[in-house]
Structure 1
Amino acid sequence: MTLAGKHALVTGGGTGIGLGIARMLAEQGAQVTITGRRQSVLDDVAGDTLHGVAMDVRNEDEVVDTIAAAVASRGPIQICVPNAGIATGKAAHKTDMAFWRDMMATNLDGAFLTIRESLKSMRETDWGRVVAVSSMAGLRGLPGAACYTASKHGMIGLIRALSEEYLGKPYTFNALCPGYVDTEIITRNTASISERAGIPQDQARKMMVEANRHKRLVTVDEVTAAAAFLVGPASGSINGQSLPIAGGQM
């Protein structure tokens, strides 16, 4: 497979799943624009085919201007990976509107703005792929994370609607729904769950591991492989789907 001549955009591309997908796309020949809130993090991983640009997906003006500049530099975006997100749990009765708004602005509004602006140039080409990074929480309720669950369900609804809107055209829209993935988010959430629940950190980590059906953490490479298929040459009939990557039936 080659993506030579293609321009890809990956939000949250400086770490974790986003970086894994960005590197895979670059290895396949694409020029990849990676975004995140911290330019220093992006600079640490940038290279000849990975181009880091600071962008806050919550800020519409930043998204519009940054994506327009990337298109001007590297051509139309034909692979769009809205990956930037917040993965923080909080009980519904403790969720204030500031927490709710920030989660939605990042996970759902950010995905919408990223896709919307990418489509402006993608629609001028004869091929395009949108691969949104949702979550197992987009397919079922996650206890203690009503806000996060709602935001990820919303992302899947967006993908399904776009797949219908562009049905029959050379663009597909799909979502990846990983379980708990072995990234720095697990480290942060281990400490957070431990504090909130008043349990030892090893027990908090075990809760996340056992939430995956195969009782281990998903690897970044496993998520990246699924993304590689969805941008590959045999993926044209996969559209509007939400692919669970959690070790078993959800």
Structure 2
Amino acid sequence: MKLDWARTTRVGHATCVHSCRKERWAFSASERTITSRSKRGHHQPSRSSSPVAPARTDRSAAEENSLAQVQRLFDINVFGVMRMTKAVLPFMRVRGSGRVINISSVLGFLPAPNMATYSASKHALEGYTESLDHEIREHGVRALVVQPGGTRSSFEANTVEPDMPMQIYAEQRRIADRLALAVNEEGDDPATVAKAIVVAATDAKPKVRYAAGRSARLLSAAHRILPAGVFDGQIRKTNKLAG
């Protein structure tokens, strides 16, 4: 099995796509938008979608982010999803059907040096979604995640610079920047993520997780199969970390 380790994802979106029978909506993470859209969805069902809120990502050592900066990232990547989900679940339960599809990342199960906060938010999203799925399944509703690998997109525009930069991590940041640029240029077509969402929304026997694209499938398989020490060494080699 040959893996392109440098293409470990730097992309993902903190949003949900909700599928209720033949009607589907995408909601932004804004609490005001969620409330107004969910009310409209309940009283005036429509197939139109509002803009989707993009995730934020960091590219810095964990020590370089203040707690306030970490909280802002989690507010978009995790709490926005929770607010949205809480707004629409009551309507799905009444219908007795629906799917909450959260866009995670392979960084929801992989470590990400110099993106610890982003990776933590995706790990949190996956834990939330899988736990939620067990809670709501008896009501005919499912919660699923789509895990993109490296994807060509404008996601880099959402990168947040550290608010407490430290010179000792400067070289690591430069390496992370180069890796992110390579992923953005050589990653999968974004259509692979869209296709995975469609599969998750229409699968007769839905799974909790859907890898989106070849790189995501290979990384998921490698994480399950390779010895932990080998996998750890590849992560360090790719990120040019000493020791």
Residue of structure 1 in register with 2:205 after alignment: 237
Partner of 1:161: 131
Alpha carbons of structure 1 residues 98 and 126: separation in structure 2 relative to 1, 3 Å: same
2:81 matched residue in structure 1? 111
Asked whether 1:121 is paired with 2:98, we answer: no
The code of the aligned residue for 1:218 comes to D
What's the TM-score, normalizing by structure 2? 0.65
Which of 146, 160, 169 lines up with 1:176 in the alignment? 146
User: Does 1:207 find its partner at 2:141?
Assistant: no
Q: Which has the higher contact order (CA 8 A, sep 6+)?
A: 2
TM-score (norm 1): 0.63
Q: CA–CA distance in 1 between the matches of 2:69 and 2:47?
A: 35
1:151–1:84 distance in 2 versus 1, CA, 3 Å: same
Matches within 5 A, 1:30-179: 30=23, 32-33=25-26, 35=28, 56-57=29-30, 59=31, 61-74=32-45, 84-179=54-149
* Cα root mean square deviation, aligned: 3.9
> What is the alpha-carbon distance in structure 2 between the residues aligned to residue 130 and residue 119 of structure 1?
9
Distance (whole Å) between structure 2 residues aligned to residue 30 and residue 166 of structure 1: 19
- Separation of aligned partners in 1, 2:111 and 2:137: 29
Distance of 2:58 and 2:45 partners within structure 1? 34
Structure 2 residue identity aligned to 1:243: A
SS at structure 2 position matched to 1:164: helix
| Structure 1 residue runs without a partner (length 5+) | 1-15, 36-55
How many Å apart are 1:120 and its aligned residue? 1.3
**Number of equivalenced pairs:** 196
Kindly indicate whether the alpha-carbon contact (under 8 Å) linking 2:98 and 2:141 is maintained by their aligned counterparts in 1.
Answer: yes
**Structure with greater Cα Rg:** 2
2:219 counterpart SS class: coil
